[in-house]
Amino acid sequence: MNAKIKIGIVGAKFAGSFHAESWRTVRNVEVTAVSDIDDNARDAFMKKYSIPKGYHDYMDMVKDKDIDIVDVCVPNFLHAEVSIAAMQAGKDVVCEKPFATTLKDGEKIVEIRQKTGVNYFYAEDWIFAPALVRAQSIIEEGGIGKPVYLKGKESHSGSHSPFAQKIKYCGGGAMIHLAIHPAGFFYHLLGMPETVIGSCSDGGQNNLMHPQFEGEDWGIGILKFKDGTRAVIEGNYVTRGGMDDTVEIYGTEGVLKADLTFGNPLSIFSMDGYGYAVEKAEFTKGWTRPAVDEHASLGYKDELAHFSACKEGLEKQRRGTTAEAGFNILRIIDAVYRSSREGKKVKLRIDG
Ligand SMILES: NC(=O)c1ccc[n+]([C@@H]2O[C@H](COP(=O)([O-])OP(=O)(O)OC[C@H]3O[C@@H](n4cnc5c(N)ncnc54)[C@H](O)[C@@H]3O)[C@@H](O)[C@H]2O)c1
């Protein structure tokens, strides 16, 4: 049997946890190290997931010879510097969304990836969500004819992370944080749109519900593809009741609807409530629709299994997960912001 692939996670909180739990379900990998500047969070994480090595400074961790893949689960503004340091140290990279917070940083990541030749895996989990994988295969077999209109959104009542409320840490608001999922999935299906029109609540006092957030708490982008197909992507922080992730695809011969967060077979009525229903749900009393296996239904488990299989040469990397894809998806989000700011349609270069 081949030696196990060794993972070092950077960022020991929310995303770090669902990555650590999902890596556990992947054959032939082990998480050997974690880095976090919050020493208490890191120590608790090491204990919880039985991780032998901990680092305060990720620069020390990326030099560790006992790591093959650096898994980037830190706030958005650090994605570029951590990914670049890891690639320059010869490590492969898995990086959470968004690819970067600026196009300049994104370009640098693509450049260093090409220079170093390491594997870079952009972690858009929707590409691996079982409902959307099945949807894609039904579309490919012609089950709904030619898709002409796609609509996707992620929404909840606001990120838990203090970093997500400041533009310098996160690059924007609900658009870059949430709508980047449907943007990534639609890019994976259709490639680059030709034009983008965006409208966003403009942050602070202009927000619909969250004046304390610097970034927008609501945003949509209308994407037009070369063949005329339209897609609407939406991200909003004005949704109570738990995270709501949905996709609708309208084809010439049919319609497809996917509900990633509430579309499950379990309903519960509870007088006193119980531990956990679904991400960002405020409470669990009364009737609820708890997620059955959130890490599976949102795609994290299959995503990380795919990345490790790619590293082993067993699978071909899926289109929406390359560094170039991550960068193009960021370009779509950037175009939404530009259009919303300037009040006009933005044309995108398609070959990029
Ligand atoms: N794919 C998804 O559905 C999904 C869901 C949630 C978060 N995310 C992404 O995961 C990333 C992390 O988000 P989160 O919710 O876990 O944030 P978080 O605030 O819960 O955790 C971030 C952790 O990074 C640590 N950190 C900060 N600076 C660091 C540094 N220089 N070195 C090492 N550690 C450092 C913090 O101390 C903290 O423990 C974000 O980019 C977010 O977009 C993705």
Ligand 1 atom with the smallest distance to the CA of 16 is: 16
Beta carbons within 10 angstroms of residue 36's beta carbon: 25
Question: What residue owns the CA closest to ligand 1's atom 21?
Answer: 13
The superfamily in CATH containing domain 5-124 is NAD(P)-binding Rossmann-like Domain (3.40.50.720)
Query: 16 CA to middle of ligand 1, Å?
Result: 7
**Cα 98 to ligand 1 centre (Å):** 11
> For residue 335, what are its two tokens?
């175009």
pLDDT tens, N- to C-terminus, the chain (352 residues) = 469 999 999 999 999 999 999 999 999 999 999 999 999 999 999 999 999 999 999 999 999 999 999 999 999 999 999 999 999 999 999 999 999 999 999 999 999 999 999 999 999 999 999 999 999 999 999 999 999 999 999 999 998 788 888 999 999 999 999 999 999 999 999 999 999 999 999 999 999 999 999 999 999 999 999 999 999 999 999 999 999 999 999 999 999 999 999 998 999 999 999 999 998 899 899 999 999 999 999 999 999 999 999 999 999 999 999 999 999 999 999 999 999 999 999 999 987 5
**Mutation choice for ligand 1 from 73, 84, 109, 300, CB with most ligand atoms inside 8 A:** 73
Q: Where are the domains of the chain?
A: 5-124, 127-300+329-347
List all residues whose CB is within 6 A of at least one atom of ligand 1: 10-16, 35-38, 41, 58, 73-76, 78, 96-97, 125, 161, 163, 177
Torsion angle defined by CA atoms of residues 142, 133, 330 and 59, in that order, rounded to the nearest 10 degrees: -150
CA of 351 to the centre of ligand 1 (A): 32
CB 201 within 8 A of CB 207: yes
CB-based contact 105:330 (threshold 8 Å) = no
Torsion of CA 169, 173, 176, 181, to 10 degrees: 120
The candidate with the shortest Cα–Cα distance to 147, out of 260, 254, 232, is 254
79's CB contacts (< 8 A; 6+ apart) are: 72, 95, 96, 98, 99, 100, 101, 105, 109
Which of 156, 161, 168, 170 most suits a substitution to test ligand 1, by most atoms within 8 Å of the C-beta? 161
pTM above 0.95, yes or no: yes
| Atom in ligand 1 nearest the alpha carbon of residue 300 | 1
C-alpha angle with apex 220: 192 to 74, nearest 5 degrees?
75
Q: Which atom of ligand 1 is nearest to the CA of 42?
A: 39
Give the separation between CA 281 and CA 276, rounded to whole angstroms: 8
Beta-bridged to residue 151, according to DSSP, are 232, 248
Decide: 154 and 259 in contact? Cβ < 8 Å.
no
**316 with 170: CB under 8 angstroms?**
no
* pLDDT score, position 138: 98
Domains 5-124 and 127-300+329-347 share a fold: no
Cβ neighbourhood burial of 271 (10 Å; 0-12, 13-18, 19+): exposed
Domain 127-300+329-347 homologous superfamily, CATH: Dihydrodipicolinate Reductase; domain 2 (3.30.360.10)
Copy the structure tokens of residue 35.
């880095």
Question: How much is the pLDDT for 2?
Answer: 64
Atom 15, ligand 1: which residue's CA is nearest?
Answer: 14
Rounded to the nearest angstrom, the distance between the alpha carbon of 147 and the centre of ligand 1 is 35
Ligand 1 centroid from CA 70, angstroms: 14
* pLDDT tens digits along 216-264: 999 999 999 999 999 999 999 999 999 999 999 999 999 999 999 999 8
Beta carbons of 84 and 33 less than 8 angstroms apart = no
The pLDDT value given to residue 150: 98
Q: Would you state the structure tokens that stand for residue 103, as one six-digit string?
A: 């196009």
**In sequence order, which ranges of 9-140 are alpha helices (DSSP H)?**
14-23, 39-49, 58-62, 79-88, 103-116, 130-140
Contact 247, 185 (CB under 8 A): yes
